[in-house]
Amino acid sequence: MAKILEIRVIRARPGGSWAIVKVLTDQPGLWGIGSANDVHHGDTVTTAIEQVIGPRLVGLDAAQIEDIWQSVYTAAYWRNGSILNTALGAIDMALWDIKGKEAGLPLYQLLGGKCRDAVPCYGHASGRDLEALVDDVQRWLEEGFPVVRCQLGAYGGGGFLAADSVSRPIDGREMDSVFDDEAYLENVPKMFEFLRERLGFGPKLTHDVHEHLKPHNAVTLSKLLEPYRLYFLEDVLPPEQIDWFRLIRAQCTTPQAIGELFVNPHEYVPLISERLIDYIRVRVSKAGGITPCRKIAALCEFFGVQTAFQEGGDNDPVNQAAAMHLDLASTSFGIQEENQFSDAERDAFPGAAVLEGGYLYPNDSPGLGVDIDEVKAVALRRDSDPSGTAQDRRADGSVVRP
Ligand code: MG
């Protein structure tokens, strides 16, 4: 029996946004790692792990993952917040890593074994104009990615108007551009009309709205995009407005993906059990780790919903590995968001999953299969302010909810 000896956090990347938990045991050389990555609140999550939750777990049997998960979850009394969920999720990943090492098996074997040969991923294409976008989509397709996300630039792209071209308040705040729902409704369907004309209906394409639209416009966009047969439309509503999925479902067949902002089962369970969405996109660490996410995947299987665990630019190789093992062993898996790392970052995380030709491949090492070289990881840290809040605004100066 391996007992938990110490739990600490190693910080990497600008602002220390990669917060990697290391759970050490009383067995020499036996430890596990997990991701507590938070680009906005890395210090808060680290404090929760190192000063609050970690010390309470010292001396417990590291093998009793379910019991530790349930006791930490309910010990907070107030639960399902993003900070404590992330802290718990990281420790949970590390405990599964330890269990795999003790068993001498990769994590996907503990979860039931592979039910696919590798994990298909979607790539992120964007362009400032349609020609640049179609070139980028083709680049991802040629690389082998079976699904490609298509965006007109960054968050909210397609919905921005030059600030000096619209009616604005006298002495309104300084802005170069403003977000406008109607511009978005005009430009994004045109983008897919163009892409389908140029690429046909073979390529599987998605689009991420980044929750920018007012709810009734989310319904309208879903309907307008129906003829272009998306693989899925992502984050068309913010978490506060998910009841609107009932109206979307009643009016069109555009497949819906959401969940990267979810932390609470009350958000995702009704959407899955009422078949109001097609893909659930929680980030493994934010949902509380492998323990709840394997239950989400099992729930999805019974209702025909698929998983598309969130990754993307601010994620790390440890969270990616956790998602990959779940993907490999789950029959309700749909698609995995891709993430790529620099050579220096891969050096700091030996055993990181290999992404090649649009597919993610595990190694056969026990546990998560990825480790951390602490010296190299710490060398990746740079001082910088944590990412601020999103500041896209409408013409009247009000914030667009991301
Ligand atoms: Mg998204």
* Token pair 């500041």 in the structure block, residue: 391
The angle subtended at Cα 114 by Cα 288 and Cα 258, nearest 5°, is 40
- pLDDT at position 390, please? 62
Q: Are residues 177 and 193 in the same domain?
A: yes
Q: Are residues 143 and 87 in the same domain?
A: no
Residue 210 is a catalytic residue:
yes
Q: How confident is the model at residue 153 (pLDDT cuts 50, 70, 90)?
A: confident
The CA 83 to ligand 1 mean position distance, Å, reads: 19
Enter the pTM of the model. Answer: 0.96
- pLDDT at position 2, please? 97
Q: What's the structural domain count of the chain?
A: 2
Which residues have C-beta under 5 Å from ligand 1, the single-atom ion? Answer: 208, 234-235
Percent of the chain with pLDDT over 90: 93
Choice between 153 and 113, residue whose per-residue pLDDT is larger: 113
Asked whether residue 286 is assigned to any structural domain, the reply reads yes
Q: Are residues 83 and 130 in the same domain?
A: no
- pLDDT at position 135, please? 98
Q: Are residues 202 and 282 in the same domain?
A: yes
Contacts for 172 with CB less than 8 Å, ≥ 6 apart = 396, 397
From the candidates 207, 210, 212, 325, give the one annotated as an active-site residue: 210
Asked whether residue 363 is assigned to any structural domain, the reply reads yes
Last residue of a domain, one of 71, 105, 139: 105
Over residues 104-118, the pLDDT tens digits come to 999 999 999 999 999
Q: Are residues 69 and 119 in the same domain?
A: no
Asked whether residue 185 is assigned to any structural domain, the reply reads yes
- Decide if 121 contacts 145 (C-beta within 8 A): yes
Q: Are residues 85 and 151 in the same domain?
A: no
pLDDT(387) > 70 = no
Q: How confident is the model at residue 243 (pLDDT cuts 50, 70, 90)?
A: very high
Rg of the chain over Cα atoms, rounded to whole angstroms, equals 21
Last residue of a domain, one of 58, 90, 105: 105
Asked whether residue 385 is assigned to any structural domain, the reply reads no
The CA 315 to ligand 1 mean position distance, Å, reads: 13
The CA 187 to ligand 1 mean position distance, Å, reads: 19
Q: How confident is the model at residue 155 (pLDDT cuts 50, 70, 90)?
A: confident
- pLDDT at position 384, please? 79
Q: Are residues 119 and 100 in the same domain?
A: no
- Read off φ and ψ for residue 338, nearest 5 degrees: -80, 160
- pLDDT at position 65, please? 98
Over residues 288-337, the pLDDT tens digits come to 999 999 999 999 999 999 999 999 889 999 999 999 999 999 999 999 99
Asked whether residue 392 is assigned to any structural domain, the reply reads no
Domain ranges, residue 225: 110-367
Q: Are residues 204 and 303 in the same domain?
A: yes
The CA 211 to ligand 1 mean position distance, Å, reads: 8
- pLDDT at position 176, please? 93
The CA 118 to ligand 1 mean position distance, Å, reads: 23
- pLDDT at position 245, please? 98
- Decide if 307 contacts 333 (C-beta within 8 A): yes
Residue 155 is a catalytic residue:
yes
Q: How confident is the model at residue 389 (pLDDT cuts 50, 70, 90)?
A: low
Alpha-carbon distance of 169 to 236, in angstroms, equals 28
Q: Are residues 226 and 354 in the same domain?
A: yes
- pLDDT at position 382, please? 85
DSSP state of 384: -
- Decide if 280 contacts 300 (C-beta within 8 A): yes
- What mean pLDDT, rounded, does the chain reach? 96
The CA 7 to ligand 1 mean position distance, Å, reads: 31
Over range 206-231, report the average pLDDT.
98
- pLDDT at position 386, please? 64
Asked whether residue 376 is assigned to any structural domain, the reply reads no
Over residues 348-375, the pLDDT tens digits come to 999 999 999 999 999 999 999 999 999 9
Q: Smallest Cα–Cα separation from 178: which of 398, 329, 362, 353?
A: 398
The CA 63 to ligand 1 mean position distance, Å, reads: 34
Asked whether residue 394 is assigned to any structural domain, the reply reads no
Strand runs (DSSP E) across 225-373, as ranges? 232-234, 256-258, 279-280, 306-307, 336-337, 354-356, 359-361
pLDDT(345) > 90 = yes
- pLDDT at position 154, please? 83
Hey, what are 370's tokens? 């990825």
The CA 338 to ligand 1 mean position distance, Å, reads: 12
| Range in 63-72, 99-108, 152-161, 208-217 the model is least confident about | 152-161
Asked whether residue 141 is assigned to any structural domain, the reply reads yes
The CA 310 to ligand 1 mean position distance, Å, reads: 8
Q: Are residues 121 and 218 in the same domain?
A: yes
The CA 257 to ligand 1 mean position distance, Å, reads: 9
Over residues 6-38, the pLDDT tens digits come to 999 999 998 889 999 999 999 999 999 999 999
Q: Are residues 164 and 79 in the same domain?
A: no
- Compute the residue count for the chain: 402
CATH number of residue 38's parent domain: 3.30.390.10
Over residues 265-299, the pLDDT tens digits come to 999 999 999 999 999 999 999 999 999 999 999 99
From the candidates 41, 73, 155, 361, give the one annotated as an active-site residue: 155
Percent of the chain with pLDDT over 70: 99
The CA 57 to ligand 1 mean position distance, Å, reads: 34
Q: Are residues 15 and 99 in the same domain?
A: yes
CATH number of residue 306's parent domain: 3.20.20.120
Last residue of a domain, one of 70, 105, 140: 105
